[in-house]
Structure 1
């Protein structure tokens, strides 16, 4: 299971291209033009933030996906950040790792856009279509780097909150 910081929709292209991972995404994306269709092609696990009663089923779905050896990425910040400071991690879905399916490890990842971070980060209330247009109109190239920390066995770190703390510690150290 990949656990990564989150700056932009570009992160999804980078991680899926490099690792073949599926993603955990907010349920609203399922209905988004083009994006929703792309999500369904990649075994995206949709979660409802509004339906607190659905968390148990979402955790079970994540655990089942991981047990089938399908790589999944969680952005535990729950939203996009500025790429400089990590936002607080939300640990609820990491309960899928307590206990973990056999063989599952946590792979912390830091996504880095270097000098283009400020231009590419999707921060605040900017509508998705505006952000996409702004990024696509941008001139020049940029370097994107995926930094992979040492993976760890979730069972060695206790419950979901301890797993989140360890993943965050490793991402911050990169």
Structure 2
């Protein structure tokens, strides 16, 4: 296994909270239908939205992303904001497919995605049309080219969204941040925006129901989310990391990992001011 193809020890059987119940099925079917309708609408509208100027386009994308998450039955709480303009490497811990629209609700950007996502029904087409940067993680030799493409996007003023763990975790644990993408931020001389993602059931402990791990299929994970009750997605935008002349990618990756601080947040139960939808 290469350094670009990390894996997490999490699995649906050992880590993920069950949500299925007969009583929840009608509500879940309705939520699923609305989510799929929103995704198809997103695919159809991408060309028209892409022709809009920056600020109106981003407002529409942020609103649509929040709507997708809410349609799945998940409330959204966002604490903080990212710089609205300029190149920005946005990095976050990775738990669920929900992470992608949640980060786009903070600031729309180009996502670094594994090549397999292209084959996903509906979501794959939407990801490709959004301008995602795809990486073949089985080909380590492709990594320098991917870093260069990320840097080009950052120099052009885009936000590029990366999950540096390289794999999803259940939400009760966190992987180490891989260093490669941070080199792109250094090469392009742009700041890094760490974001902490967490899912809860109301104000209770962390919920793993939204996790998309191990042998999970996308449909199984989607059904578990729409079947759940009172799920809350917490998005905390941490202070921006501005690399200086003495910073290397290892130090920048460790600083971002500490900033996200999922282990500390889960241990202390830290709360913060937030906006809820």
Is the pair's TM-score, using the shorter chain for normalization, greater than 0.5?
A: yes
* Corresponding position of 2:243: 154
Q: CA RMSD in A?
A: 1.7
| 1:30 positional shift | 1.5
Structure 1 CA distance for aligned equivalents of residues 182 and 228 of structure 2: 39
Structure 1: segments with no counterpart, 5+ residues: none
* Corresponding position of 1:45: 133
SS at match of 2:152: helix
| 1:98 positional shift | 2.9
Structure 2 CA distance for aligned equivalents of residues 110 and 49 of structure 1: 24
Q: Is the contact between residue 2 and residue 107 of structure 1 (CA under 8 Å) also seen in structure 2?
A: yes
Q: 1:112 aligns with which of 173, 176, 198?
A: 198
The total of aligned residue pairs comes to 171
Structure 2 CA distance for aligned equivalents of residues 11 and 146 of structure 1: 9
Q: Is the contact between residue 157 and residue 166 of structure 1 (CA under 8 Å) also seen in structure 2?
A: no
Q: Is the contact between residue 157 and residue 163 of structure 1 (CA under 8 Å) also seen in structure 2?
A: no
- Bigger Rg over Cα: 2
Structure 2: segments with no counterpart, 5+ residues: 1-88, 266-277
Structure 1 pair 157–132 and aligned structure 2 pair: CA distance change class (3 A): farther
* Corresponding position of 1:35: 123
For residues 94-129 of structure 1, the C-alpha deviation after alignment (integer angstroms, 9 at most, x for no partner) is: 221233x24x21111001112362211123221222
Q: Which runs of 4+ in 1 moved over 4 A?
A: none
- Greater mean deviation of Cα atoms: 161-170 or 108-117: 108-117
Structure 2 CA distance for aligned equivalents of residues 26 and 125 of structure 1: 16
- Greater mean deviation of Cα atoms: 63-72 or 139-148: 139-148
For residues 49-100 of structure 1, the C-alpha deviation after alignment (integer angstroms, 9 at most, x for no partner) is: 111111111011100111111111110111111212211222122221233x
SS at match of 1:37: helix
Structure 2 CA distance for aligned equivalents of residues 156 and 84 of structure 1: 35
* Superposition map of 1:6-155 within 5 A: 6-99=94-187, 101-102=188-189, 104-115=190-201, 117-136=207-226, 138-155=227-244
Q: Is the contact between residue 16 and residue 22 of structure 1 (CA under 8 Å) also seen in structure 2?
A: no
- Greater mean deviation of Cα atoms: 6-15 or 82-91: 82-91
- Greater mean deviation of Cα atoms: 153-162 or 80-89: 153-162
| 1:33 positional shift | 1.9
Structure 2 CA distance for aligned equivalents of residues 163 and 15 of structure 1: 20
Structure 1 pair 117–157 and aligned structure 2 pair: CA distance change class (3 A): farther
